Copies of this chain bind each other. A is one copy, B any other.
Amino acid sequence: MNLIGNLTLDQLRVLVTISDAGSFSAAGRSLGRVQSAISLAIKTLEETQGIELFDRTRQKPTLTPVGRVLVDQARVILASADRFRAIAAGTRMGLEPALTLAIDPLVPTEPLIDSLRALRDTFPDLSVSFSTEGVGGAERRLRDHSASLAFCLLLPSVPDDLMAYPLMNLDLMPVVAADHPLVRLGRQLDRADLEAHVQLVLSDAHGTEGPSYGVIGSRIWRFVDLGRRLDFLLAGFGWCKMPPFVVEPYLADGRLVKLDISDEGISPTGTLPVYAAHVRGRPLGRGGSWLLDDLRQRLMK
């Protein structure tokens, strides 16, 4: 029947059970089978593999050197098989086979990690993947179905095809390097002041060149990566709005300075809502729902 080498998971389970229980008979008791079934299983395994697993010179069979190695390997295989069953069992309970998350670079990670840790503890067999790309990347991943849940800003407004739950507010503060000309002006800044200088803007790598929000003037440098933009910001290349969790240390040591801008209406309001979102037509599985609930509960407090 089994033309591919006649190896079965059952044989492997028998093998490791013998190794754990100490004898064929004990393994039989442990597995709820008669001893002869154990004997036969091992005999078959030995014959199909053409090797000797146990040394029978003494009454109680002892593992041969190969036997020991193969028991270890069998444990590996059985562990993988258990994972297979765990995935299947999770699905039976409504758990998605894999939870794919996407997060925009501006969204702070810190509030999420407690929830993600709890998720891991609650669904240890749920495989989670986590992607961060350029601004707008999380939303795009929702749309091309490579992510089932996104944490992102949704500007200018929440699209109709997405189900979005506001999670927290992100204060974007305009900042610039301490040695930048804008600082030397020493007064409240208006639109004209800002237009005269380079603005460091985050944009999507796969950018469909959609309209950019919060962009003032035409002297624009674009970045996909928040960290790299920070490098240029610190180097005094231009100004931009940054979330506090990124720039706090630099404000503290004086390398960055907060800009005092008169007309806040020239850009998105300083406080932006961060959403958790998924495509309406693709409801979250049990793991995603759990994560979302846990997250909102934690952020409520």
Q: Which residues of A contact B (CB under 8 A)?
A: 1-5, 7-10, 12-13, 31-33, 49-51, 65-66, 68-70, 73-74, 76-77, 80-81, 83-85, 87-89, 91-92, 96-98, 127
Tell me, in angstroms, the Cα distance from A127 to B32 when the chains sit together: 35
Q: Is the CB of B97 within 8 A of A69?
A: yes
Tell me, in angstroms, the Cα distance from A4 to B77 when the chains sit together: 14
Distance in Å: Cβ of A238 to nearest Cβ of chain B:
44
State which of B4, B51, B73, B81 has its C-beta within 8 Å of the C-beta of A7. B81
Q: Is the CB of A66 within 8 A of B87?
A: yes
State which of B10, B84, B91 has its C-beta within 8 Å of the C-beta of A77. B84
Given contacts A80-B73, A88-B51, A91-B51, contact A8 B8 (CB under 8 A): yes
Q: Is the CB of B3 within 8 A of A85?
A: no
Q: Which of A50, A74, A85 has its CB near the most chain B CB atoms (within 10 A)?
A: A85
Tell me, in angstroms, the Cα distance from A81 to B74 when the chains sit together: 8
Q: Is the CB of B85 within 8 A of A49?
A: yes
Tell me, in angstroms, the Cα distance from A73 to B96 when the chains sit together: 15
Starting from the known contacts A77-B80, A77-B81, 7 additional A-B residue pairs (CB-CB under 8 Å) come to A3-B31, A4-B13, A49-B88, A69-B87, A69-B98, A73-B87, A76-B80
Distance in Å: Cβ of A86 to nearest Cβ of chain B:
9
Tell me, in angstroms, the Cα distance from A92 to B48 when the chains sit together: 11
B residues less than 8 Å from A85 (CB atoms): 5, 7, 49
Tell me, in angstroms, the Cα distance from A32 to B1 when the chains sit together: 11
Q: Is the CB of A7 within 8 A of B84?
A: yes
Residue of B nearest to A45 (CB): B88
